[in-house]
Chain A
């Protein structure tokens, strides 16, 4: 099983490292052709505007949308979740392109800037029932988005309570397309729709590999009928020539 990790910017190395700990090979994806050789895709955390610009330049969006349409598993963390959402608010002036697929509305930088970044123990009943382990998961929220509302077909996997009087991040660049009149008591931070998974926090920044393992199981369910994927031989594999990069550790 070969998992692709979109490697335009951000925490792709961390995802590859987490996959390696599960014994799965992660391949860095920078061009549309490379998507043909992978059976599932992870879109890492990072700066979503940067990734959108780079994806646009390489004409990746059509290929990514095609990938999602074929029903192959895709997991977006933080910036990746923004890409997979059908609708996003809090975008820069002029907006940014999305891949879409999860019927939800996501708010960029929901919790504010870096000072408001935090870690929280999240209650994740669905994950625990499939993967076992401790009842809670250590969610690392870095300038994180939040899902404000979901459509009927979307499963909510984790929520985070916010006080209804908390000041939301606002700037003159934010284009609020609809009014958020109701004060939120809880915002959604992990969603699943079909073979699409989205988390607003960063499992790849922790040593807890349950989300990666959960995603791999989504992949293997989808793979039951198709033949085992062959690791690509043709084309230039840039990682071949590069010295193995020694990477940052995963948190304990």
Chain B
């Protein structure tokens, strides 16, 4: 790969190389999370259960997405005290959510020293037009996407990890699958495209040309891509892995189920052995109740994924 005149890979800071910390270090942590499961937790006890089950990181928040849906109101960044308590109770990385565009919430989260910030559509957006300029931060960000264009826009803003938006808090994996297939489908299309056509394609998906070209050459997104939004069972997790994701976020799916510790362990196993059906069958047995979930045919269900572009 070196010296082939190829569009720059990491560390060349194409446009906005930050002085704060090299992009490669930010992405490095995401690469260490590959093949793992990141679980939503609302208190230190749940965090310990997640760590014991084999989660590779936890997402600390006050309310899981299913509860945010049920209770309504404005969902904001969690109390830093809670996040600090969760951070102290585990040794694995801790992530927390900030509202879209709310860079001060991100500054606060960076100040309390957690490992990753999720600029999340699950919380009520603070800025309808703009996302946070993630290059201004030392802390890495993970952002959601529904399609390739969105993913590349977030990466250009400085996201070091991408997840699908799915439809969080519904326990319904249909949207996550839709988003992964959209991203992967566009990448497949891109790979076979004539180089001259990439300019128009970049315009069409409203993504920066250099990242589109880089994606074309790599044959995948330039950062780690996780699945998120509605994963409720080991089979769901393995499905997302087989569709091409590098790992899985599980939110309401674990702690809203009948036997969280067991389900958490099963999902961790499923992500490691995602292409081994015998193993998947074994871990899916006797898990108790999954979260009930929401059927998305109901028009009254709010679509978090459509909150931002």
Contacts and interface: CB of A to CB of B under 8 A. Distances in A.
Interface in B59-103: 87-94
B227 to A, nearest CB: 15
Contacts of B114: 113-114
Contact of B54 (A14, A50, A242): A50
Contacts of A8: 35, 272
A251 B54 CA distance: 29
B32 interface: yes
B91 A173 contact: yes
A12 interface: yes
B275 A238 contact: yes
Contacts of A140: 24-25, 28
Interface residues of B, number: 58
Given A54-B272, A205-B24, A172 B113 contact: no
B302 to A, nearest CB: 32
B3 to A, nearest CB: 9
B36 to A, nearest CB: 5
B115 A113 contact: yes
Nearest to A205: B28
- Chain A contact patch, size range: 35 or more
A45 interface: yes
A125 interface: no
Nearest to B138: A115
Interface stretch (B6-14, B121-129, B162-170, B286-294): B6-14
A9 B34 contact: yes
B268 A91 contact: no
26 contacts: A9-B34, A9-B56, A12-B35, A45-B32, A46-B35, A46-B36, A54-B268, A54-B272, A78-B32, A91-B91, A93-B48, A112-B113, A113-B93, A113-B114, A114-B140, A115-B110, A119-B25, A140-B25, A143-B115, A171-B87, A171-B89, A173-B91, A202-B32, A207-B1, A247-B220, A251-B10
Interface of B: 1-2, 8-12, 21-22, 24-25, 28-29, 31-36, 48, 51-57, 87-94, 110, 113-116, 138-140, 218-220, 222-224, 244, 265, 268-269, 271-273, 275-276
